[in-house]
Structures are given as structure tokens and as C-alpha cells.
Amino acid sequence: MTEVFLLPLAVLLPLLMACCVHVSADRFARPLQWVGALGMATLVLALVAHDAPMRTVLGGWEAPLGIELVADRLAKTLLVFTLLVYAAVLLYAEGYFAQSPIEARRFRPLAWLLWAACNAAFLSDDLFNLYVTLELAGLTAVGLAALSGHPKALAAALRYLLAALLAANLFLLGLALLYGSTGVLSLRMLAAAVEPGTASLLAFVLLVTALALKTALLPLHTWLPPAHGGAVTPVSALLSALVIKVSFVILLKLWLHFAPVLDLVVLGQGLAVMGALAVVWGSLLALRQQRLKMLVAYSTVAQVGYLFLPFAWLRPGTPAAAVAFDASVLQILGHGFAKAAMFLAAGVLLRAAGRDGLEGLQGAASRQPLAVFALALAGISLIGLPPSLGFSAKWSMLQAALLAGQWPWVLLLLTGSLLTAAYVFRAIRYAFLPAPDVSELRPVPALMSYSALLLAVLAAFGGLGTATLAAWLEIEIAGWPEALP
Amino acid sequence: MSAIAMDAATLWWVLGTALTFLGLGVMLAAPALLRKLLAFNVMGSGVFLVLLALRPRGPDGVADPIAQALVLTGIVIAIASTALGLMLARRYHLATGRDSLPEDAPEGTDD
Amino acid sequence: MNTWLLAATLASSLFAGLLIFCLPERSVRLRTTINLAAALLKLACVAGMLWGTEQGQQYELRLPFLPGNDFLLRADTLGLLFMTLSAVLWLFTTIYAIGYLEGSPHRSRFFGFFSLCVTATVGIAMAGNLATFFLFYELLTLATYPLVVHRGTPKALAGGARYLAYTLGGGALLLAGIVGLQSLVGTVEFRFGGVAALRDAGDPIVLAALFALLVAGMGVKAALFPLHGWLPHAMVAPAPVSALLHAVAVVKAGAFGIVRLVYEVFGIETAQSLGVLTPLAVLAAFTILLGSFRALAQDDLKRRLAYSTVSQVSYIVLGVALFGPMGTIGGLVHLVHQGIMKITLFFCAGNYAETLGIHRVSELAGVGRRMPWTTAAFTVAALGMIGLPPMAGFVSKWYLGLGALEADMGWVLAVLLLSSLLNAAYFLPILHSAWFDPLPDGQPGTTTTAPVRNEASPALLGPTLAAATLVLAFGLLAGTAWSPLGWVERIASEAYSP
Amino acid sequence: MNAVDALLALVLLALAVACLWAKTARTGSLLFITFGLLLALAWVRLGAIDVALAEAAIGAGIAGALLLDAARQFEHSPAGQNSARAPSPWPPSLLMLFLAAVLLYALSTIQPLAGDATLAVSAALESSEIAHPVTAVLLVFRAYDTLLEIAVLLVAVLAAQAAPSAIRASPKYDPALAAVVGWMVPIAVLVAVYLLWAGSSRTGGAFQAAAVLAGAILLARFSGQWPDADRLWQHAGVRVFGLVTFIVVGLSGAFTAGAVLGYPAGWTGGLVLGIEAALMLSIAASLLALFGWKER
């Protein structure tokens, strides 16, 4: 009985919560949120405890007629990831919005809707349904980016929306080609039915382009920095940790399904090359920023580049594939936790200093040690120093590159690490400078620093669990493609 | 045109393709927000035409019901996106008096 | 039981560090208690493991970390050598730092990172495979950065930036080397004789290149030419940090890494047959001479000591590069001896700076009369550095010389001789000036009256004298089984009997 | 091929070009409405009556109204700030032509099969208890898509609220308009209810009904009649009512039908009608919200 429930609830519960917090008065919304978050935690735990892969047929109508939700271990990992990010961000938001109830009222329902969208994307096995979840996530993100209503935020949100709309149409066009030739929408049936050829390859390229645009892969990244850097801080964290991961995870799922059928070697190399350029260019731009949140936002452009590197090695039947798959998951988690932590910590520091410039960080190491510590720990993961998740991701990428006999990638990965270190420490060194004037410091709730630290610790020490995670994910990729459903 | 043996479906997906790339081009090139949103809708219509026209019709001449449902859902999502876009654009216009986004500043420079 | 001691050794300083971070600035007594208790606990744990190893116990802790690469801690003879050194010197430095930093700001932060730094060093000593080694190696970089920039001055930040640029770059090279090596031979665990699979792992040029990559990665921390540029600039840090960086933690981590690399990753025989030892010896010899020459030209006392470190650490590398047990003994024993001598010298420099405000060599005239104990300690350590018997440094140089003969590299003897002369040239004038030159005018006690005694406070002097005593003791008692030399001979016999 | 179809296609293409290159936003919007209405004809020619109705109501109707409304505001831009100029056609259009050619080639290689899904629909229609195949797909087979689509609509409303536009002036009572509205609104409501009810057996459905309903309410608002009723529509509860009903019914399916979003045998028609009625109210409220009103 519970099995019938669990997967749909992972989407429907946050949707219901969104409706509830939207209609309820402020004083009820807060406790209601904690009840909801607790419910989500229970739900996700129950899902993970369920060891076997889960498949739920919605409405009792099996594919190809209906839609199925699938919780393999990849999806379960991502559900836990989302839960952890949300736990920290919701805590943080209570402190952050304490002075601005109107923004809090706008934030809450959209945040819950976004949670539903993330879970829906991770669980869905239906191409069209994935399009709907992508739109759900995209429009929610636009609304969140516009939350403050400032003209700059509006401009950023509009840019974001236009990118999302373009991506939506490209995705639909790709879908039209695939559905037109096969008449099915379930990913596993599509993979079985699709015939290699111009139409299917073009369809796949369209889907990949759309998803790369939504994930902000260079050169389709220009919408990202203003939207992420200009949003209110809890939103920046959600956008960078989760929203770009939604489109990326969909891309990864498509890749796992279609790489065995279509010849994607060239496309994979192409994506990896774009990723490499993104790593370098994004880092260089981050180095040039004068404002902390923009620095963190441009760092996302670079980190997204790393997400796309494993496609060079994700070829079915090669020894590098399993390692590359691990690398993708680790990079998703590592960047998610680290970047959210970084934004949250930046938010604390900016609020304390009252301004957005890097020089506002002066003296922060002694005034806001927790936030600086969180920033540094998150930075360690972005750089890829052990035992962070970012390190494990890079370690796996290095291994995959050498297993595939493509050693030049090693050079790129190491250069990327050093560039990252350069911009991370460029920010952190300000914190060690003596404070110019103590009197202008504003109080910040300690809760905010702690929630940033929670995520930073996950990012910086999560790498210790790499072997465990890799063993847990192994059945999803071992023997790929035969092992796929 | 008569030289090409063209059945009815082909006509519609050719039109769909034309509308798609017409919309896409304008969406990329036009600066004005309103025109971008118009172009998005034209492009969307083109994609929907391709989606439906590719599917063989049923024996009674009725289009594939699943494709119809997909297009219906797509239309609703498109209108929701358009409405949101218009609302943001109007708000932006009210605040700044502009009907288009500022030209992209050289990358990486802070505004 | 066997894993418990290992974990406790690591945890003693780790948890002390975390606890200290959380302490408010003003709870001085509690912080001091935690610091000392943790240092003593660690020493006790290490002593326990030394005793246990003597009884034939094996210490190993294995946890899952990366796929195929466990988090592996071990207390083997080589690791215990470095571990003991770190534990002893940490105790000294902690006491010294408590005295040195009395009343200065941000002490919780300082001692927190200080403890993390020692945690990383002990971790490096215990690491049983390359992945674990790398983990602690990078942790060391991160934990020392806040110590280097502790003062928050632009100069400190510039020094810190340079330090990071070098060490993170070195880390990247090391990582590339590790991943590259493991892609050829699988997971590498440290074992005397090296990884068996390496002997026939194909192209010797590739292997030599990987060796070079790994040496370069470690060489940054070991301040091997041309990667030594960060060390003199890191001198902006407070004296206990300099002492720690130079004597124990950072440079030793690099040198120790090269030891592991040669004996336990490649294996000395394989390294010899790859022909990589001679270039390494040449590089070390060059660094020895370069460091000494540069030291001659420095007036700033700490900078002179810093270049001396560049030179002295390369003795270790030189010993490692000499094929044969004697060279091994000379190199390894110098790991301990250089540490104890250099920490004495830095303690003394700190005493001069803290008590009399003296930072330059030229200001040291007559200081021996004002701070006789400190100057005596300085003298013992400096003579040791030069390599005069019966100091510890003599033992190192003696075995290095024997090793050179054993390895058929006569030119090394010339390098040793020249370097000793240079050491004498930059230390003896200091000693002479400190003891025999008159105090400069305008200072109390300049003329006929007895000079005013102005010795450093006990918290500073105690560790200084203790370290100086060890310099003497390690030289005088070198022949006993429990001396560093005795232990190192045991290691050497393991290294050459596969 | 049919000459009428070809002509229709050509006109559509011409309209699209004219609409996208129109001098003013207002002209563009008007042309877009025309385009939408003719596109509805095209859908009819393709045998997709449901899509045609939706296109007319939503694509042409609602979108057109929204666009016109926005165009009116944009016409009052200060000079110099406007980028009314049409897009420069050349550099991108070569690329577009190339891409279109690639797509056309790819499309021409497709040999569409009557896919599994299509066959499955006709096979399962009987047991779905819904006579109209499109409605069966939307609310039975792929009800989950529809549920998320309603969530998307809610997102649009909430997101638009995040950027509230104090655009609309408060309506004033207009007796002449009120007289017209007085008998138009009830008719519109009746039409909406009919569309809703018709959905289960033939073309129609919640969205089309809601569009009509929203139109009626807008008319009433402009006339200044029933201000209190108007305010009722702005209540957050009305907006989420449909989604909550859908979710609750969907979850209860786990107990009654053994699957979330399933319906117990014999109840499908009634439950679907109930969901659609709730959805209609919420969709109408959402559409109204997307038109914006003066915030109090």
C-alpha cells in the first residue's frame, strides 16, 4: 500500500504544502512549513529505506498509455540531496525574511512548488512529463528571481524567462520528432523504439541544446549570472543548487537511455569541450567580479562546465563509463551543497556589512567567523580539495579521463582547480584584513550562519562517503547499457 | 508546388517548420520584449503543428488523441509563460520606461 | 585496540582544534588547558604505539573513502619516526606559542588552526596510501594559510597568497601524479620495496615522468629548487608558526613525502633502475648550495634561517637519493635532527624579537650577555647546523658522507663540505657577534657595568632550552637503540631487505 | 493536396510574418489574434477539434487580450526608450533557413507508425469510462501531466504577484455597459457550464470553460457591477481550490482504485466532472489574476 503512495507523494505533498502556505496567514505558515518539511523528511527516508528500485504506475495506466514514476538509486540520491538543501534554505529564509514579511509570503509557496518540480523531474520516466516539470521548475525559478521586484531583478528574471521559453520550444521540437517517429513517450520505451538516423539524432541534439541552455552551459550562460547574483539570497541558493541541476539531471537521464542506441561520441566530446571552455571562461570572469554574489554566480558558470565534462567518457561498454557516471553525480551534489552554502554565507556577510562589494568583507573573519568558515569550506569543495565532494568529483573525472586514454583533460581539471582557488581566496583574503569600522556592523541571526555551515560541512566532508555512494550507485551503471530497464 | 507529391500532413509540418524558425529568428534578433513574446508564441504554434502533423490520424480522421492532449497542455503552459512574461515586462516598463532589456553589457563587468 | 590508538592520536589535536574554535577569546585558561592536554595526550598515544610496535603490534585503521582507495592509517616504523617528531615538537611549540601570543588578538582562531595543522602533519605521517596522504597534504596547506596571514597586514596577505599559489599548485601536480600512477598500477599503498606492479608497468619514460611529477608536487612543500620561493615570504607569520612551518609541518611533510615516494611507492631499487635518483641528488645538492648562498646575504634573522631551511631540508632529499643504507640513514635521521635544530633556532629568533625587539642579524651584537640562555641554545643549534660534533647535525652529515661513498657519488662529499663551510660562514659571525661584540651604544649596560639581564619569559625559554638539549642529546646518545639514529637504522634495514 | 489547405497555410505564414514585423505592438497583437483564429481552422483541418477550440479560446482569445492590454501600456513609452524597430532580418535568417532545411530533411525521413500509445488509447477507452478520447488522455491516462500543468498556471500567478503591477485603474460603474453585461454574463456562465459538461463526451473541458467564465467576469469588472463578487475571485483560496481538489481526489485514488490518480470503477465520469468544475473556478481566477488588478 505504502509503495503506491510514496513516489507520487514526493511530488504531491510539496504541491499541497505550496497551496496551504499560500492561503494561510503568516503565523500559521511557519509552523505549517516545519510540519511539511518533517513530512518530506519522513517520506524521503522511507523511500531510501526501500532498497529495491521502485516504479509507480500513476492512475494504474501503464506506459505507453500512462505515466510512470521511477525511483532508481540516482533519483533517490537526488531526493535526499534536495531535502538537505531545502532544510538549510528554509531555516535560513526564516531568518532572512524576518524583517520583510511580504517577501516571505511570496517566497514560501514558490519555494514549495520548486521542491515539487525538482522531485517530479527526478522521478519522471516520461519525456513529455519531463517537459512539464522543466517548465514548472523554470517558471518558479523566474518568479523567485523576480521576488524583490527591483528593476534589476525584473530584468534578470525576464532574461531568464526568455531563455527558459526558448529552451521549452526547442525541447518540444525534439520531443515532437521522437514522438512522431515512435509514438511513445516513456523514456525506456523510446530508447527501445528509436531508430538511429538523422531524425532521432537531430531530436536528441535539440533536447540537449534546450537542456544545455537551461543548465547555462557556455555559450548559453549569459542569463545566469544576473539572475543568480541578483536574486534575494535564499533564492540564489535554490536556483544554483537545484534548478540548474533539474535540467542537467534530465539530460543525464536522456543520455543514459539514448547513448546505447544513438551514436553520441562526437556530441559527448563537443559537450565536454564546451564544458572545458566554461570552466576556464567562467573562472576568469569570476576573478574579475567586484561584488561577492556576482563572483559566486560566475563561479556557477565555471562549475556547470565540470558537469558536462563526464559526457566525454560516458560511452556504453567502456570502463570509464561507470567512473564518469559517479563523477556526474558527485559534481551535482558537490556543487549543489557548496554553491548553496556559498550564497547563504555571502548573504550573511553582505547583510552584516550592509553592502555588496568584496571590500565589505573586511574584518569578517573575526566578526562573522562562522560565515567565513562556511564560505571557505564551500570554496574548498569548489576548488576540489579533499575530502570534499568536489574533490571526489574531480578525482573521478581524472580517473575517467585516464581510463579513456584522454590525458589532456587532466591538464584542464588541474588548471580549473587553480583558477577556482584564485577566485575563492581572492574573496576570503578580504575577510582577514582588519575591519575598517566596527560601528557599521549590523546584527544577523545566528541561525543563518548555521544553516550555511550545515551545507558547507556536507560539501567539504561529503567526499568521505564517496566509496559508499559509488557502491550504492553501482547497480545503476554496472553493465550499462544492458542493466537499464 | 504541385510537382512535389505532398500529402496534407506534409503541408502542415512544412508550415510548422517555417513558423518555428520564423519565431526562433525573431525571438533571437528582436530587441523588444513584446515582440519576443509574440515570436515565442508563433514558434510554439509551429512546434505544435509539427508535433500533431507528424502523427498519423485515426481511421475516423481524428488526430492522435495523445498528441492532441500534449498540444493542449503545451498551449496552456505557453499561455501561462506568456502571461508571466507580459506581467514582468509591464512591471519593468513601469519602473524604467523601457520596452526592451538593456543591451548585454560586456561580460563580467559589473553594472 | 590497535585502531583505537591511531584514531586517538589523530583525534586528540583535531577535536582540540574544533573545541578551541568555539571558545570565546577571553577564556585563556581553558584554552591553554585544552592545548596542553591534547599535546600530552598525543604524545602519550604516540609513545604507546612506539612501545606497541616494539612488542610486534601492528597498527592499522581502514575506512572506505574513494572507490578502491581506502582511508588508510598505519603506524609503521617510518611513520612513527615522523609522528614522534611532530608530537614532541608540537608540545614544545604549543607551550612556546602560549607564551608568545599572550595578550594578542584572535588567539582562538590561531590555536584552532594550529591544532588542525598538527593533525594534518600527523595524518601525513600515518597515511598508508597515496589518497590518504594527499588528503592530509592538502589539509596541511589549508590549515597553515590562516596562520601565515594571521596578522592580517598587507604583507602577511601577500605572503599568504604566494604560499597558497605554490602549495596549491604543488598539490595539483601531486594529484596528477597520483592519478596517473594509479591508472597504471592500481591503488598504491605504502610498502617498503614499492609497488610490485610498477617494476614491469611499461614505459620507463612514463614512469620517470610520473616520478618527476610526484617529486615536484612534494618538492613545493619541501622547498626544493626551483619551488622554494614561498618559504622566505611565509616568514611574515608569528615566530611559533615559522618554527612549525620550518621544523615540522610543511617542509617536513614535503620531505617525508619524497621519502615515502622513493622507498615505499617506487621502491629504492626500482627508482635506481629508472635512473631518477641521480637527477634528484643533483637537484638536492644544488638546492643545498643555493639556499646557503642566499642565506649569507640576508640581514633579517628569520629570512636567513628560512634560506638555511631551504638548504637543510634538501639534505634529507639528498640522503634519500643516495642509493644504499648509509644514505638512507643520513637522510632520515636528518629529518629529525634538522627539525629539532631548526625549531631551536626559530624559538631563539622569536625570543630575540619578542624580548628585545631584535629582528636583524646586525642588531645581535652583544646580545649573549643580555640573553645568555637563549644565546646558548642558539649556539648549540647553530653548531649543529654546521655539523660539528657532538651535535646532532654531525651525525647526519657523517652518514650522508658515508652514503655518498657507498653510492659511488664522490662529488656529493664536495657539496657537503662546501655547504658546511657556507653554514659556518652564515652562523659563526652571528655567534661571534652575539657573544663577543660590545653592545651598541645607547643601550643599558653598554659600558663597564655588567649588562642588564633581560632573558625571555619562562614559557618561551623552557621550550627553547628543551629543544637545544635534544640537539645535544641526539648527538651524544646517537649510539643507543632509542635514539633517532637507532630507530632510523631499523628503518633502513627494512627498506633494503624486501 | 487540398488547395484550400495550401491557401490557409500561405495566409498563416503571411500573417505570422506581418505580425512579427508589425510596426507597432498593437498591430502585432491584432495580427496575432487573427493568426490564432486561422490557426484554429488549421487544427480543424488536421482533425484536432479540441486543439482548435483551445487555440481559439486561449491562443487567440486570452493571449490576444493579454497582448493587446500590454501593447496599450507600451504605446505610452517615452520617446527614445522604445525599440519599436523591427528586427534586422539578415544575419540570423540565413542560419534559420539552414536549420529549417535540416529539420525538413529530418522530418521527411520519418516514417510515422501508429505508435503503441495511440493504439493503447483506443484499446483502453472503453475501460476509462470517458467517451471522449482527448479528455480521457487529459484526465485519466495522463492526469498527472494535467495536474502539473495546473501547478504551472498557479506558478505563473504567484510569480506574477512577485512583481505586482499596479496597472489597472479601479473600475467605475458604467450604467450602459452594466445593462449589456447584465444579460451577457449569465449567458457566458451557461456556456461555460455547458463546455465543462460536454468535455466528457465531446470537445470541451475545464480550460475552455474557464476562459469563457473569465471573460464574463472581466466584462462585469469593467462595467463596475458586482464589485464584491469580483473581490471574491481574488481570494487565494479560489486560486488553489482546483489544484487541491485534484490532489486530494488523486491521493484518495490510492485507497479506492489502488493507484494514485486512479478512479474507482464506475466513478470516473463523476469524479472527472468534479475535478474539472473545481479546476474551472481556479483557472478562471488565475486568468483574472494574470490580467492584473490594482492591489489594495
At residue D16 the predicted structure's pLDDT band, cuts being 50, 70 and 90, is very high
ipTM for the predicted complex comes to: 0.90
- For residues A441 and A480, the model is more confident at A480
| Residue B31 clears pLDDT 90, i.e. is over it | no
The answer to whether C20 and C94 are in contact (CB under 8 A) is no
The contacts of residue A435 (CB under 8 Å, 6+ apart) are A362, A363, A364, A366, A367
- Cα gap D20→C59, rounded to integer Å: 77
Partner-chain contact D110 A177, CB within 8 Å: yes
A267 grid coordinates: 556530441
User: DSSP of C262-281, one letter per residue?
Assistant: IIIII-HHHHHHHT-HHHHH
Residue D22 Rama label (left phi>0; alpha psi -120 to 50; beta): beta
C247 grid coordinates: 621544523
Q: Is D150 exposed, middle or buried (0-12, 13-18, 19+ CB in 10 A)?
A: buried
| Residue C482 clears pLDDT 50, i.e. is over it | yes
How close, in Å, is residue B110 to chain D by CA atoms?
22
Average pLDDT, chain D: 82
Q: Is C52 exposed, middle or buried (0-12, 13-18, 19+ CB in 10 A)?
A: middle
Which residue is associated with the grid cell 518540480?
A117
Q: Which of D41, D134, D142, D283 to mutate to test the interface with B (most CBs of B within 10 A)?
A: D134
- Cα gap C88→C46, rounded to integer Å: 9
The answer to whether C256 and C125 are in contact (CB under 8 A) is yes
Q: What is the pLDDT of residues A33-53, one digit of tens each?
A: 999 999 999 999 999 998 888
The contacts of residue C478 (CB under 8 Å, 6+ apart) are C392, C395, C484, C485, C486
- Which of D129, C298, D120 shows the shortest CA–CA distance to A185? D120
Q: Is C182 helix (H, G, I), strand (E, B) or coil?
A: helix
- Sequence ranges of the domains in chain B: 8-96
User: H or E stretch including A117?
Assistant: helix A101-123
Based on C-alpha coordinates, what's the Rg of chain A?
21
Partner-chain contact D74 B93, CB within 8 Å: yes
A329 grid coordinates: 553525480
The contacts of residue C420 (CB under 8 Å, 6+ apart) are C386, C387, C397
| Residue C441 clears pLDDT 70, i.e. is over it | no
User: How many Cβ atoms are within 10 Å of C94's Cβ, its own excluded?
Assistant: 25
Contact residues on chain D for A183, CB-CB shorter than 8 A? 112-118
- Sequence ranges of the domains in chain D: 1-74, 129-296
What was the pLDDT predicted at C26?
83
Partner-chain contact A183 D117, CB within 8 Å: yes
Sign for the CA dihedral angle at A265, A269, A270, A275 comes to positive
In chain C, % of residues over pLDDT 70: 96
Sign for the CA dihedral angle at C364, C369, C374, C375 comes to positive
User: Is D in contact with B (3 or more beta carbon pairs below 8 Å)?
Assistant: yes
- Cα gap C378→C358, rounded to integer Å: 14
Contact residues on chain D for A123, CB-CB shorter than 8 A? none
In chain A, % of residues over pLDDT 90: 64
What was the pLDDT predicted at B103?
67
- Cα gap A476→A468, rounded to integer Å: 14
What was the pLDDT predicted at C412?
87
The answer to whether B74 and B33 are in contact (CB under 8 A) is no
Q: What is the pLDDT of residues D181-226, one digit of tens each?
A: 778 888 888 888 888 887 767 766 888 888 888 888 877 777 777 7
What was the pLDDT predicted at A25?
84
Average pLDDT, chain C: 86
User: How many Cβ atoms are within 10 Å of C334's Cβ, its own excluded?
Assistant: 30
Q: Is C460 helix (H, G, I), strand (E, B) or coil?
A: helix
How close, in Å, is residue D5 to chain B by CA atoms?
8
A-contacting residues in B 19-48 (Cβ below 8 Å): 20, 23-24, 27-28, 33, 36, 40, 43-44, 47-48
How close, in Å, is residue C455 to chain A by CA atoms?
32
At residue D172 the predicted structure's pLDDT band, cuts being 50, 70 and 90, is low
Contact residues on chain B for D55, CB-CB shorter than 8 A? 75
Find the residue in C nearest to A415 (Cα): C172
The answer to whether A275 and A309 are in contact (CB under 8 A) is yes
| Residue D88 clears pLDDT 80, i.e. is over it | no
Find the residue in C nearest to A462 (Cα): C65
The contacts of residue A102 (CB under 8 Å, 6+ apart) are none
Domain made up of B8-96: CATH architecture:
Orthogonal Bundle (1.10)
Q: Is C290 exposed, middle or buried (0-12, 13-18, 19+ CB in 10 A)?
A: middle
| Residue D14 clears pLDDT 50, i.e. is over it | yes
What was the pLDDT predicted at C452?
64
Report phi then psi at C65, rounded to 5.
Answer: -135, -85
| Residue A481 clears pLDDT 80, i.e. is over it | no
What was the pLDDT predicted at A116?
96
Partner-chain contact D250 A8, CB within 8 Å: yes
How close, in Å, is residue D225 to chain B by CA atoms?
25
The answer to whether A322 and A478 are in contact (CB under 8 A) is yes
Contact residues on chain C for A477, CB-CB shorter than 8 A? none
- For residues D290 and B68, the model is more confident at B68
Is residue A238 less than 8 Å (CB to CB) from chain D?
no
Q: What is the pLDDT of residues A132-178, one digit of tens each?
A: 999 999 999 999 999 888 888 899 999 999 999 999 999 999 999 99
Q: What is the pLDDT of residues C103-138, one digit of tens each?
A: 778 888 888 888 999 899 999 999 999 999 999 999
The average pLDDT across A313-327 equals 90
pTM over 0.90: yes
